[in-house]
Amino acid sequence: MLRAICAALPLALTAAAAPGCAENESQIFIVGVMKLESTDCILSPEADAPLLTGGVLDRALRNGYRGGLLIGSQLTQRGSREQLRTETARLALRGAEIRLETVGGAPLAEYTTIGTGFVNPSSDTAPGYGAMAVDIVPAGAPVGDGLIVARIRVFGETLGGQDIESNEYFFPIEVCNGCLIAYPIEAADPSLQPGEPYRCATKPVEAGSDPGERVCQIGQDLVVSCTTCSAANPACANPCQNCWARPFLDCGDEPEPFCG
């Protein structure tokens, strides 16, 4: 977005005539996609925040991937209490430009997603940090099973009115159809008779024992017990209706699931 706006300005304009466009991509930068802590599911934008090396999207459980970006700012503080000068280097995040590609570089989708966040300027040599949650893979994006790459840039505006865009960050995402559903023995339907095929119970056998209760975003990155979704999702209730699990099972004459 910002790149296109700035490129449209006449080349004869000097930097003084177009102060709103910042081409220095080192002013703000994407550090990575943060790992949500299961204890509170809150993004904590710290320098040592845990990061994901890649994501997993299970299409059997959700239709999009939402990630929390850790964003750093190297903008220099300009405010001064002694000189009664307000701080204009604080950055209000507005959104992200995202391109989805295959591993080989073939384009899949390109779009702008809205986000919100706030980043303080750097302090001495230490960058300021902020967080913004964005739809890295939006619902309905034309992606199939396999590894894809998201190329992400964030953009925003300083309190001084300067538009700024980040570096481009590459984030790999494995897309599957059922790979994050687990079928533990203890989750089997207690009404099953010996010899009957596995069916998942519709609720945890013991209160608080369901791993899904500790997952912030079901269908993304972490495996969940089938009891989390067995009441409403055939792929959770019956492993033979799970497109990812079925090839490893003897499902006899059970009808095949739709795996499109």
Q: What is the pLDDT of residue 24?
A: 54
Count the neighbouring beta carbons within 10 Å of the beta carbon of residue 223: 13
pLDDT band, residue 204 (cuts 50/70/90): low
**pLDDT value at 17 more than 60:** no
More confident residue, 73 or 54: 54
**pLDDT value at 205 more than 50:** no
| Phi (first) and psi of residue 40, to 5 degrees | -135, -10
Query: In this structure, are residues 164 and 2 in contact, taking their beta carbons and an 8 Å threshold?
Result: yes
Q: What is the pLDDT of residue 78?
A: 54
pLDDT band, residue 215 (cuts 50/70/90): confident
**CA distance linking residue 215 with residue 219, whole number of Å:** 9
**pLDDT value at 21 more than 50:** no
Q: What is the pLDDT of residue 1?
A: 52
The rounded radius of gyration (Å) of the Cα atoms in the chain is 23
In angstroms, how far apart are the furthest CA atoms of the chain? 81
More confident residue, 137 or 204: 137
Architecture of domain 25-176: Sandwich (2.60)
**pLDDT value at 183 more than 60:** yes
The pTM for the full model equals 0.82
More confident residue, 76 or 176: 176
Q: What's the rounded mean pLDDT across residues 180-184?
A: 97
Q: How far is CA 94 from CA 71, 118, 135, 154, 227, in A?
A: 12, 9, 13, 8, 38
Query: In this structure, are residues 148 and 172 in contact, taking their beta carbons and an 8 Å threshold?
Result: yes
Query: In this structure, are residues 71 and 45 in contact, taking their beta carbons and an 8 Å threshold?
Result: yes
Q: How much is the mean pLDDT over the chain?
A: 83
Count the neighbouring beta carbons within 10 Å of the beta carbon of residue 129: 18
**pLDDT value at 20 more than 60:** no
Q: Give residue limits of the domains in the chain.
A: 25-176, 181-248
pLDDT band, residue 211 (cuts 50/70/90): very low
